[in-house]
């Protein structure tokens, strides 16, 4: 729905609320008209149920409001003496319409100074769990989200098994577009392996479920995406039901905020001209200089002299961590990723006869590479030049450049597009230029030959950006912890410093201080 449609919908809800509660307002010593005034009626209701006014804010936060609405329905019933388990059940399962029964049929009395403390241990636990979920959902949605590195596309900067905190507020927190879903999970409910949100993800569906989507809204951030930032974003071309299942039974057309979360390096920002030469990125004609913590990796063919290579030895001696294997009967090995530092040392291995870079030839087209058009002979190592769209900038549009920006114009910016002979029609009108509505970015992995990235699907719109990884709180290599990566920053110069020991000192110091203070108070 559009913002105007949501506004009308909320007004209708206010009328329903007023019709179902105006007598209850009177019994609580208020005026009947107060039940019908949007927002104000919520403030008054919070006074009636003896809860803080700021609960109103929670009622307007997507996902959180699903929990808070149920809480308010139950609290309203209890404020008029309806405290039984059956009353609680009816208040929730009727979606608040139990209030109509209390308002028109029963002769309830308002309990002004009722106790707000649960009357049983189970009630206390339920209350605590609910508000813990609410608090965690707010933090998860608008401030910090935990994230696990699933692949080696940024290996050496971020390792498989790194557990990150991703800041939502650096670039501005995105208001959830999907309004009905399970809190604190992405596209799939763990263990149940079921979709976590209400949406019909068949292509072109006009289901009522899809009308519950909010338009794209973002709280202003304090930082813009800069070149070479590591960014978490929703994959634009995602058609997976479950982000961990790469072989779905069909394509799933999901809302933006439920597309698979990925983490890559932003090597090109809006307004840049990008080109890949021999596997290296050039921006506006100059070779892109990566931060010193970044380590590019490329794939190689390695011919051994005699014996086979031992994976554990290569990992410990040369820090070669990605997969490798024999590819032909001549005992030739294919190494999917080796960094320059590892390569310099690996060349001196007494078992290495030769090492050959796996670089594709310029001008040889790879059909899997953007823009997936036969007129563009681009591949993973030779790509571009390509202009990255910037909000408000206008380009000439013709049949030659159309494959580069067709998805931007239609999929990301919501226009209709037709080609009639040599003419391009956008929204039914002949167009020779196009002005972009938002910024776009080019996201790539440092692992240049073992990363599915923008070279496969193209531009990443700003409305797909989730946040900025800022902190590694834990790291696990599959068998044991990587202690030197615990409590380290993602960005910065030089080798990352672990703050685990200072954190533990402060934590145990705080615990000890609280125990000392408690003993002193009781003595």
- How does DSSP assign 328-340, residue by residue? STT--EEEEEEEH
The SS3 call for residue 399 is coil
- How far is the C-alpha of 294 from the C-alpha of 356, rounded, in Å? 23
DSSP 451: -
The SS3 call for residue 488 is strand
Strand order in the sheet with 333-339: 324-326, 333-339, 297-304, 352-357
Give the residue ranges of DSSP H helices in 430-489. 454-457
The SS3 call for residue 39 is coil
Strands in 84-139 per DSSP E: none
Is there a catalytic annotation at residue 151?
Answer: no
Q: What is the bridge-based pairing of β-strands 460-461 and 144-148?
A: unpaired
Peptide bond into 460 cis (omega under 30): no
DSSP 409: I
Strands in 401-523 per DSSP E: 417-420, 423-426, 429-430, 433-435, 440-444, 460-461, 465-475, 488-489
- How far is the C-alpha of 321 from the C-alpha of 338, rounded, in Å? 8
Q: What are phi and psi of 147, to 5 degrees?
A: -150, 140
Catalytic residue, chosen from 264, 339, 468, 475, is 264
CA dist 432 to 17, 20, 314, 426, Å?
52, 56, 56, 9
Task: Write out 216-272 in H/E/C secondary structure.
Answer: CCECCCCCCCCCCCEEEEECCCCCCCCCCCCCCCCCCCCCHHHCCEEEEEEEECCCC
Q: First and final CA of the chain: distance in angstroms?
A: 63
Catalytic residue, chosen from 153, 336, 339, 451, is 153
What is the chain's Cα-based Rg? 29
Q: Is the dihedral of CA 212, 216, 222, 226 positive or negative?
A: positive
DSSP 95: T
Is there a catalytic annotation at residue 27?
Answer: no
Residues 25 and 31 sit within 8 Å (Cβ to Cβ):
yes
- How far is the C-alpha of 448 from the C-alpha of 170, rounded, in Å? 27
Q: What are phi and psi of 238, to 5 degrees?
A: -65, 130
Active-site residues, by number, are 153, 264
């Amino acid at each position: 729905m559009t913002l105007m449609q949501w506004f009308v919908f909320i007004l209708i809800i206010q009328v329903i609320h007023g019709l179902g509660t105006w007598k209850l307002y009177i019994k609580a010593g208020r005026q009947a008209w107060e039940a019908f005034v949007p927002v104000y009626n919520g403030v008054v209701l919070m006074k009636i149920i003896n809860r803080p006014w700021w609960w109103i804010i929670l009622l307007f936060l997507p996902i959180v409001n699903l929990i808070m609405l149920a809480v308010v329905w139950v609290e309203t019933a209890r404020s008029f003496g309806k405290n039984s388990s059956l009353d609680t059940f009816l208040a929730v399962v009727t979606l608040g319409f139990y209030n109509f029964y209390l308002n028109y049929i029963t002769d309830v009395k308002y309990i002004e100074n009722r106790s707000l403390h649960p009357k049983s241990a189970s009630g206390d636990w339920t209350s605590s769990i609910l508000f813990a979920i609410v608090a965690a959902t707010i933090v998860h949605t608008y401030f910090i989200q935990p994230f696990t590195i699933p692949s080696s596309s940024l290996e050496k900067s971020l390792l498989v098994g790194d557990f990150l905190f991703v800041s939502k507020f650096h670039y501005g927190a995105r208001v959830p577009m999907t309004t009905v879903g399970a809190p604190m999970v992405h596209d799939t409910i763990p263990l149940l392996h079921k979709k976590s949100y209400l949406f019909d993800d068949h292509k072109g569906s006009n289901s009522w479920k899809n009308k519950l989507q909010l338009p794209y809204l973002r709280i202003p951030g304090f930082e813009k995406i800069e070149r070479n930032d590591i960014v978490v974003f929703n994959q634009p071309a995602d058609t997976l039901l479950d982000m961990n299942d790469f072989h779905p039974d069909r394509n799933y057309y999901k809302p933006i905020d439920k597309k698979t979360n990925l983490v890559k390096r932003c090597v090109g920002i809006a307004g840049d001209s990008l080109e890949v030469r021999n596997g290296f990125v050039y921006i506006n004609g100059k070779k892109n200089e990566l931060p010193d913590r970044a380590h590019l990796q490329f794939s190689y063919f390695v011919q051994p002299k005699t014996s086979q290579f031992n994976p554990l030895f290569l990992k410990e001696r040369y820090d070669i961590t990605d997969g490798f294997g024999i590819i032909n009967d001549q005992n030739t090995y294919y190494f999917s990723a080796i960094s320059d530092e590892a390569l310099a040392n690996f060349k001196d291995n007494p078992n290495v006869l030769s090492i050959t870079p796996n670089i594709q030839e310029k001008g040889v087209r790879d059909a899997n590479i953007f823009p997936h058009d036969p007129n563009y002979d681009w591949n993973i190592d030779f790509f571009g030049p390509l202009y990255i769209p910037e909000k408000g900038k206008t380009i000439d549009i013709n049949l030659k450049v159309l494959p580069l920006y067709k998805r931007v114009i239609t999929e990301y910016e919501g226009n209709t597009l037709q080609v009639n002979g040599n003419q391009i029609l956008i929204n039914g009108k002949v167009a020779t230029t196009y002005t972009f509505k938002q910024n776009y970015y080019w996201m790539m992995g440092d692992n240049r030959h073992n990363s599915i990235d923008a070279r496969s699907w193209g531009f990443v719109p700003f409305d797909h950006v989730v946040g900025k990884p800022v902190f590694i709180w834990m790291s696990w290599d599959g068998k044991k912890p990587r202690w030197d990566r615990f409590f380290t920053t993602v960005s910065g110069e030089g080798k990352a410093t672990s703050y685990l020991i200072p954190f533990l000192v402060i934590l145990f110091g705080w615990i000890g201080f609280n125990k000392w203070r408690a003993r002193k108070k009781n003595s």
